[in-house]
Amino acid sequence: MSSSLQDQLEQTLAEYRQKRADLQKMQAQMATMSSTATSPRNVVSATVDTHGQITAIAFPTNAYKNMAPAELASAVCDTVRKAQTMAREQLVELMEPMMPAGMSMRGKEPGKLDIDRLFPENPEDGVFFRGLGEGV
Are 105 and 119 members of one domain?
yes
The answer to whether residues 62 and 106 belong to one domain is: no
d(CA 89, CA 78): 17
CA 127 – CA 117 distance, rounded (Å): 7
Instruction: Give the confidence band of 135 by pLDDT, cuts at 50, 70, 90.
Output: very low
* Together in a domain, 44 and 81: yes
Answer whether 61's CB lies under 8 Å from 116's CB: no
Regarding whether 118 and 81 lie in a shared domain, the answer is no
Interatomic CA distance for residues 26 and 20, integer angstroms: 10
* pLDDT digit string, tens, across residues 73-120: 999 999 999 999 999 899 888 887 777 666 666 665 555 556 666 667
* 20 in any annotated domain: no
Task: Establish if 121 belongs to a structural domain.
Answer: yes
Rounded to two decimals, what is the model's pTM? 0.66
| Domain encompassing residue 106 | 100-130
- Residues 48 and 76 grouped into a single domain: yes
What pLDDT shows up at residue 136?
Answer: 41
% of the chain with per-residue pLDDT over 70: 73
Residues 65 and 120 in one domain: no
